[in-house]
Amino acid sequence: MAKPITIRKRGDTYHIAKRVPVRYARVEPRSEIWVSLKTDSAEIAQQKAPRVWNDLINAWEAKLAGDTADAEKAFEAANNLARARGYRWMTNNEIAKLPTHSYLERVEAVATRNGVPDVKEADALLGVAKPPAITVNRALELYWELATADATRGMSEDQIRRWKNPRIKAIANFVAVVGNLPIDQITRENMLDFRDWWSKKLDKEGLTANSANKDIGYVESTLRTVNEMKRLRLDLPFGKLRFKEEDDEQRLPFSEKWIKDKLLAAGALDNLNTEARAVLHAMVNTGARPSEIVGLLPHHINLDANVPHIIITNEGKRTKTSTSKRTIPLVGVSLEAMRQFPNGFPTYRFKDRISDTVNKFMRENDLRETPEHTLYGLRHSFEDRMLSAKVDERIRRDLMGHGLGGRQRYGNGASLEDAAAILSEIAH
């Protein structure tokens, strides 16, 4: 149990009078301290004492943390010490630009011992502490520590892997072009060199602007997060680096005729493995994303219900958006596909492989309507069929897992029975 805080009156003012804990002897030479509570009211003094003592503890802890050769820890400790003393950490140059009274307030707040300023407090309150030299590769390591918990909450292991890999690749590309520089030494020229490298790569390999923009974005967000979370206060040379993206990069829907005469033709998919074939069929009349189909767990597949259906949820993985959670009736070839695999698709569950497998098969067997068509196009085809059948917009959005364009979602929407009846009319 913590010892009570002793409050004593000296003259007209109450003070905390307490022995310094042995833990802080290295950073606090006094064995006992008297700290003014700046009040002559015993009641107010009792209220203020715990907070003031807690601030002292935080300041001592920050000094202990700063008593290290580790530059990152020492800099973080200086930030924490400034906050514990009631100030925001600022660079020495920023402090020099403060109004005179604010500057003097910080100077006077630095504790002294026998007239000599406390070095750690001066580092913290007067901006003497220097930001550590964090390299680009080190920034990526720190990014995992700083951002992973929030960014990956609810993700499966495979989703986390797929979240990490593009950032690892982007940082590796950046380092290969400009070197593993300390991030405070990155210049605008370095960023333009990286953009030029991507410009040549786009032309040489026929890639889309989206590929370059993602790489640039991952580098920017990684370094920006570390700069902000570590309070480095660096002016990073970002902005106006992205390439213009063309409108025709949208995934193309398959036509009704192509789905019927090619993809669903007898024997067309016989050489595709049975799970992948069933995933393709399941998409035709549900419009679900490939990842949503392969992410289904056995209890998400309800074949014995009055209306057979699947439930798209974030169990085991994270859905793309909050509106992606939905229930979709099963009809036509999609119902038959799920009857073949009532427990889902273990070969592909939570793995980023189904699209590659099916797209490769379609490419090698002339099953793409154009070279730009992919498996994902079946989702867009499903929406186009509903639109052609004049299905109500609310029902279309609910089945696709789309938001309502900023409008509030009221009621439950169409019943499962009504949705199944509507889809039966346009099903393959």
The domain boundary, picked from 99, 125, 151, lies at: 125
pLDDT of residue 177: 92
Residue 112 and residue 186 share a domain: no
**How far, in whole angstroms, is CA 59 from its chain's centroid?**
32
Residues in the chain: 428
Residue 345 and residue 325 share a domain: yes
Residue 113 and residue 46 share a domain: yes
pLDDT of residue 58: 73
Residue 221 and residue 272 share a domain: no
Residue 151 and residue 111 share a domain: no
The domain boundary, picked from 82, 106, 125, lies at: 125
CA gap 387, 13 in Å, rounded: 78
Residue 318 and residue 365 share a domain: yes
What 3-state DSSP class applies to 95?
helix
**C-alpha separations of 76 from 82, 135, 149, 271 in Å:** 10, 17, 20, 59
| 179 occurs within a structural domain | yes
Residue 156 and residue 233 share a domain: yes
- Residue with tokens 């499903």, as numbered in its chain: 382
**C-alpha separations of 236 from 186, 198, 232 in Å:** 7, 20, 10
Q: Which domain holds residue 106?
A: 7-125
pLDDT of residue 247: 46
Q: What SS3 string covers 388-409?
A: HCCCCHHHHHHHHCCCCCCCCC
Contact assessment for residue 285 and residue 334, using Cβ atoms and an 8 Å cutoff? yes
Tokens of 323: 């509106």
Contact assessment for residue 222 and residue 139, using Cβ atoms and an 8 Å cutoff? yes
The domain boundary, picked from 92, 125, 158, lies at: 125
**CATH number for the domain including 245?**
1.10.150
Q: Which amino acid is residue 76, in one-letter code? A: E
What 3-state DSSP class applies to 270?
coil
**How far, in whole angstroms, is CA 423 from its chain's centroid?**
36
| 115 occurs within a structural domain | yes
Q: How many CB atoms lie within 10 A of CB 317?
A: 19
Q: How many domains does the chain have?
A: 3
pLDDT of residue 21: 80
| 130 occurs within a structural domain | no
Tokens of 193: 């060199």
What 3-state DSSP class applies to 208?
coil
pLDDT of residue 405: 55
| Closest alpha carbon to 302 in 416, 168, 150 | 416
Burial-class residue 315 by CB neighbours within 10 Å (0-12, 13-18, 19+). Answer: middle
- Residue with tokens 């439950």, as numbered in its chain: 412
Residue 181 and residue 86 share a domain: no
Residue 223 and residue 151 share a domain: yes
Q: What is the DSSP letter of 16?
A: E
**How far, in whole angstroms, is CA 197 from its chain's centroid?**
27
| 49 occurs within a structural domain | yes
pLDDT of residue 322: 56
Tokens of 311: 């439930």
* Beta pairing class for 112-113 and 32-36: unpaired
pTM, two decimal places: 0.51
The mean pLDDT values, 10 residues at a time, for the chain of 428 residues are 74 84 73 80 85 75 59 68 73 77 77 69 70 82 81 76 88 92 90 92 80 91 89 86 67 91 94 95 93 91 94 69 78 95 90 86 94 91 92 88 62 81 91
